[in-house]
Chains A and B, each alone.
Chain A
Amino acid sequence: MNVRTLSVRNLSRRPFRTVGLITVVAVLAFSLFAGSLLEESLENGAENVKKRLGADVMLVPKGSGYDAEAILLKGEPNAFYMDKTVVDEIVKFKGISEVTTQFYLTTVSDAECCDFPVQLISFDPETDFTVTPWIEASNGGGIGHGELVVGSAISLVGDNQVKLFGNEFPVAARLGKSGTGLDTSIYMTQETMKDVAKLANDRGYPSPALDGIDSQISTVLIKAEPGYDTYLLVQDIRFDGVNVDVIKSTNITAGLTQQMGSLIGYVKVFEVMLWLLAVVVLGVLFSVSVNERKKEFATFRMMGATRRKLSSLILGESSLVSAAGALLGAALAALFVLPFSDSIGSAIGLPYLAPSLSAIASMFVLSVAVAFAIGPLAAIWSARRIGRSETHSMFTEGN
């Protein structure tokens, strides 16, 4: 029998009150950990969009800027085309280091790889600087005719293959999760894209771009010379009257940061409010409990308990409640949030990439620590009050 055993007994003999206190802390720990995960995942997602885009500037047909951003950010497949000659107009501008093009196609529901429409993207391995580095990082090589490189959300069949329009294509590489729309994309060479478009046509899904696949493109991706101000490059393209929408990678990131900022702001305000509410609720409950137990504390003093011992009895109980609630809440958040990060990302409509395991572990520890703190913090006032009270008045008031 010691103070800790006594704290456990006191809590277990009041199960309703104890469960109530634990629940308050658990809700707080849940929101802290889930909120931190959300915040970190959104920041990761935004950072990854820029990395995956790989280009400083992206040009798309006039009026298709929003659709192009939706492909990147929300994973909403789309296709738009412009004449390939636009490249000749672009390369003359100052400050350009590399230029490459991509051609887009979308599947419909019979893609047989996925439950969702898929963005098909062809690129030119000779000039590409956006996808090739990721492919090399993934398989150490490149991509051949008839081969595919798939995003992390694309399901494979059989021996590392993807079935498109009834035909199985070997997968040369599978890209890591990016948390962006590119996770639901399939990359291929221009020749493979022609094969896929023909298959789609044979299956009754004629592609309006099939006839112009050699003369049309969907995007022009530009890498600026090192140190060159991309703002100047964009201004030159706009002033020259090239019939394109210009997307700057930094603008995408800035836009995302702005959208995330308000969401993260709301989450933070909610967390702070909840934290304060939990401190007040627990503070009131501990105060009521201490009032009910004045006679018990007075008896302890008569037996020879120091004032510090009385305080530690109250703080011990609040710490136990807090520890249980904090661990339970954070564990439940991990159980419910981590496995469903893809669904959460889709629901939010912003790039969403879960952080590394070590970062998650750090957030877990921090959330548990912050949630744990409210118990002792809420009980400090009661503990100080009881530590200062006169034994005789405590005993008579407790009767």
Chain B
Amino acid sequence: MSVVETESLTKVYSGGVRPFSAVSGVDFTINEEDFISVMGRSGSGKSTLLNLVAGLLRPTSGSVSINGRKISELDDRSGSFVRNSEIGYVPQGQSLLGNITVIENVVLPFTLFKRPGEPYGRAKDLLERVGVGDLADSRPKNLSGGEQRRVSVARALMNSPSLLIADEPTSDLDLETSSQVMELFSEINREGAAVLMVTHEPDTANYGNRHFTMDAGKLTERTA
């Protein structure tokens, strides 16, 4: 079964002088073995597409299904639960909460809905896995950009999602750190989670196994 399936997905913003179609009639499917990279100019609709897939935006028309459930038609609580349990989101730039420790940041997604079990053991394992296990009790401000991004990835994996969404995951990282983070994404993909990534950087996009281009709201798959 596909992890993500969109049907004629459209988002039109009508707040400006004239309506602006950020995403226009997108039909695509993401399977669990897919590592999708989406490239495109600024304003082409990439981030809007990610937000639509994550259920953070309601489409003007069309639909998004996550593992068979139409997230675009769910109420806020149900949609949030799908996002929390089936999607891991790695936002652009620094996104850790500064008032809590690294491990508490990782644990947060687990605590947003009632779940059985103890989250700290898994959080510690995830931090070890992304290579920052020794920083579990540090404050985010004491971490480098690369370390913070790794913690964001660990946090996104906390609830074992079937889809990992990453918005410009290497935009503010040096080359070495970028490749380490992208290796991590590849590893996660090989272990069974689909990845949907938006990037401006061709080197980063090359880690994907399916490549798309976004232009004026239209999504086109590039074939080799």
- Flag if A390 contacts B109 (CB, 8 Å): no
From the candidates B100, B104, B155, name the one contacting A303 in the complex (CB within 8 A).
Answer: B155
User: Interface size bucket, A side?
Assistant: 20 to 34
Interface residue? B99 (CB, 8 A)? yes
Contact flag A1-B111 (CB < 8 Å), given A10-B99, A304-B81, A304-B83:
yes
Contact, CB under 8 Å: A306 / B80? yes
Query: Given the known A-B contacts A6-B99, A296-B97, are A307 and B47 also in contact in the complex, defined by CB atoms under 8 Å?
Result: no
B107 lies within 8 A of A1 (CB): yes
CB within 8 Å of B: which A1-47 residues? 1-3, 6, 9-10, 13
Q: Which listed residue (B54, B92, B100, B159) contacts A1, Cβ 8 A?
A: B100
A residues in contact with B47, CB < 8 Å: 392
A328 to B48, CA, bound (A): 48
| Nearest-Cβ distance from residue B9 to partner chain A, whole angstroms | 16
CB of B193 to closest CB in A, whole Å = 16
Question: Min CB distance, B91 to chain A, in Å?
Answer: 6
Cα separation A105 to B100 with both chains bound (whole Å): 74
Taking the closest CB of chain B, its distance from the CB of A292, in whole angstroms, is 11
Would you call the interface of chain A mostly helix, strand, loop, or mixed? helix
Q: How many residues of B contact A (CB 8 A)?
A: 32
Q: How far is the CB of A318 from chain B (nearest CB, A)?
A: 16
Fill in one digit per residue for B92-119: 1 if any A CB lies within 8 Å of its CB, else 0. Answer: 1101011110001001110111000000
Q: How far is the CA of A218 from the CA of B81 in the complex (A)?
A: 85
Least CB distance from A39 to B in Å reads: 42
A308 on the B face (CB < 8 A): yes
Q: Are A295 and B95 in contact (CB under 8 A)?
A: yes
A301 to B56, CA, bound (A): 8
Q: B99 contacts A391, CB within 8 Å?
A: no
Cβ of B8 within 8 Å of any chain A Cβ, yes or no, is no
Say yes or no: is B185 at the interface (Cβ < 8 Å to chain A).
no
B120 to chain A: closest residue by CB: A1
- For residue A11, which residue of chain B has the nearest CB? B99
A391–B56 touching, CB < 8 Å: yes
CB of A305 closer than 8 Å to a CB of B: yes
Q: Which of A362-391 contact B (CB under 8 A)?
A: 390-391
What per-residue 1/0 map shows which CB atoms of A284-299 lie under 8 Å from chain B? 0000000000011011
- Contacts of A305 on B, CB cut-off 8 Å? 80, 84, 112
> How many Å from the CB of A381 to the closest CB on chain B?
20
Q: Are B84 and A304 in contact (CB under 8 A)?
A: yes
CB-defined contacts of B85 to chain A, threshold 8 Å = 304
Q: Is the CB of A395 within 8 A of B91?
A: yes
Bound Cα distance from A390 to B47, whole angstroms: 13
Whether A399 sits at the interface, judged by CB under 8 Å, is yes
A303 touching B77 in the complex, CB below 8 Å, given contacts A391-B51, A395-B91, A399-B93: no
Residues on A with C-beta less than 8 A from B7 are: none
**Which of A304, A305, A306, A399 is the most central at the interface, judged by chain B CB atoms within 10 Å of its CB?**
A304
Scoring A2, A300, A302 by chain B CB atoms within 10 A of each residue's CB, the highest score goes to A302
Chain A residues with CB below 8 A from B113, complex form: 304
Q: Across the interface, do A302 and B104 meet the contact criterion of CB distance under 8 Å?
A: no
| Interface presence of A223 (CB below 8 A) | no
Q: Are B56 and A302 in contact (CB under 8 A)?
A: yes
Given A295-B95, A395-B91, answer yes or no on A306-B57 (Cβ-Cβ < 8 Å): no
Distance in Å: Cβ of A356 to nearest Cβ of chain B? 45
CB A155 to nearest CB in B, in angstroms, measures 57
Expressed in whole angstroms, the Cα–Cα distance for A171 and B205 within the complex equals 99
B109-142 CB mask vs A (1 if < 8 Å, else 0) is 1011100000000000000000000000000000
Q: List residues of chain A with CB within 8 A of the CB of B104.
A: 1
**Contacts A1-B107, A6-B100, A392-B51 given: A303-B57 contact, CB under 8 Å?**
no
Does A268 sit within 8 A of B, measured CB to CB? no
A299 to B88, CA, bound (A): 11
Bound-state CA distance A257–B55 (Å) is: 64
* CB neighbours of A3 from chain B (8 A): 111
- Say whether A13 contacts B99, CB under 8 Å: yes
A296 vs B94: C-alpha distance in the bound complex, in angstroms? 10
Cα(A304)–Cα(B80), bound, Å: 5
Bound-state Cα–Cα, A307 to B75, Å: 11
Chain B residues whose CB sits within 8 angstroms of the CB of A303 once the complex forms: 83-84, 89, 108-109, 112, 155
User: Which single residue of chain B is at the shortest CB-CB distance from A6?
Assistant: B100
A10 to B100, CA, bound (A): 8
A309 at the interface (CB under 8 A from B): yes
A301–B84 Cα distance when bound, in Å, is 9
Known contacts A6-B97, A302-B54; can you find 14 more A-B pairs with CB under 8 A?
Answer: A1-B107, A1-B111, A10-B99, A302-B56, A302-B83, A303-B89, A304-B109, A304-B113, A305-B80, A306-B77, A308-B77, A309-B112, A392-B57, A395-B91
Provide a sorted-by-A list of 19 A–B residue pairs whose CB atoms are within 8 angstroms.
Answer: A1-B107, A1-B108, A10-B99, A299-B95, A300-B112, A302-B83, A303-B109, A303-B155, A304-B112, A306-B76, A306-B77, A307-B76, A307-B80, A309-B80, A391-B57, A392-B47, A392-B51, A392-B56, A395-B91
Binding site for A on B (CB under 8 A): 47-48, 51, 54, 56-57, 76-77, 80-81, 83-85, 87, 89, 91-93, 95, 97-100, 104, 107-109, 111-113, 155, 159
Query: Footprint of B on A, CB under 8 Å?
Result: 1-3, 6, 9-10, 13, 295-296, 298-309, 390-392, 395, 399
